A and B are shown apart, each in its own frame.
Chain A
Amino acid sequence: MKADDPNIKWIEEPKLGLAGKMYLPLFAQGLTTTARHLVSKKVTVSFPEERPQIGNPLIYRGVHRLNKDEKDRVKCVACFLCATACPAHCIDIIATESPWEDREKYPEHFAIDELRCIYCGMCEEACPVDAIELTSFCDLTGRSREEMVFDKEKLLSVFDQTKDSEPMRSASMSGVDQPRGRDGGSH
């Protein structure tokens, strides 16, 4: 595109006032702004000592957990909807026949590769029984790739750690009654 292209629309720049022409008043103004920021409150979070404030933990997408029902059983019914919805293919489920009356299947093996996961929350959206949820844990570390593949026990233990700070969206297995979360009740 050349400078005389008819498609270019030239706009008149705003006229400078006397302060702008004099330069020094505006310079003093800019210097005051920087000086104010120099002493103002800092936004840095010194991470290992301080923890970042997560606005609403219920809508934050961190490490997954597998919820338990009131009888301390895993809520998951091994329907594979989360694994199907997962765009990163990081969920690995092996289903087997359920020992309990109220459902046909349950996961014998349930593993999420936390390194492969993109934390999009699609599994949480897809789950019909609200068994899989994303917590507000964001600092995830491990010494090997294998360690970062979270199996069922690990995911259930994440639930035990976070169930008090982040209550389940729905207590029962069906996932429709008694919404308890902060954003619960909106749907």
Chain B
Amino acid sequence: MSGATLERGIHAFKEAIDAPVASFFSSCVRCGLCAHACLFYTETEDPKYTPIHKLEPLRRVWQHEYTFWGRYAKAFGLSKPVTDEELGEWESLVYDSCTMCGRCSMVCPVGNDIAYMIRRMREGMAASGHAPEGLIGASQRAVTIGSPMGVKLPALQAQIRHLEQDTGLSIPVDVEGAEYMCLLSSMEIMNFPEYIGAIAKIFKQANVTWTISSEAFEATNSGVQIGVSDIAAELVQRVVNAAEKLKVKAVISPECGHAYFAIRWEGPNLIGKPFNFKVLHIMELMDQLREEGRLKTTGKETQRLTYHDPCQITRRGGVVEQPRNLLRMVAENLVEMPEHGTMNWCCGAGGGVSSNERADALRLKVFSRKKAQLDAIQAEGLVTACSNCRIYLEEGLEENNMDIPVTSLTETIAEHLADEGQTGAQ
């Protein structure tokens, strides 16, 4: 990252400290409960992974800049300044062992939203040049190419052509006046392109007009993951420009956790003004269609299925009941993991962790938490609504010799769509 210096990092830390952050630091009583909520601690028992500890450099900046006694201590040379070396040490704590899943924020007795603070701390980490290589590359590609994985329009068009052939349906691009503009994550375009076919089928049945924008098809916001709000805002603005140009009612976020959070909750705040269109996760839209009676399915999955909540969509995003409503339509044996919904355990790969090769070993190690959850209910199938969760759950399951297929919620619904004249029973 050009222009990265400790000075810029400290400055970014200062900018990141708002009333909530100051309140949170003031309230911490060092009870350690956050550690027991974080899979990076519970599966390693290494106290350095205690969530509040990951914020230590930010805390010291808060102390020395925004508390009267801290300022005096600094003036009298009694404070320990944050050093470049220290930020180097903290890089892996902030980026490798945290997905911003927010489970710690749910259990802190004094109410600290630690994930909120980590997001803000990343701004300083990136500005000081202490962010993982993988994320830096992804962000640069996102800005210059339009996709963190370098997926260019011709590649997307090839996938679209293929899916049009497979499904026999047209996949609209750049249609002005469509109700919905659908975003896609690079992970989906590369690893799970059938998602595009699935939504085409669903929208056809529900009689929904939709489109993809050739100018802004990428959902993934690498800027949010690395913590560079300027990049994050640029990526959001592209989507906004396309949505306004195509005059759509709503932008549909695909099966990707952080993409949803970035556009739905951070988006307007990054660009400094409200959107004049709605933002929905594909699950929210499908559930709406279900409620309106426009989604007709047939047949049911019979194996013991469970749903993995992507943290950014459920706990941090607020989409909790919709996947369950949808799955109940097509699954007769849906069971919940012991801790599910807003108290689910993270897959361990979100928030940039999966882009970071250095974090691979740790990420695989902490999968044991998810394994325990699945073992407890003897799950035979796992459904989720985030392609990052999906592929890294697959990896974790494979590493642990667990034979549980992982499928996408949208694709599962699409597979059970009733043909005309066929509804309800098999």
Real complex partners, A and B?
no
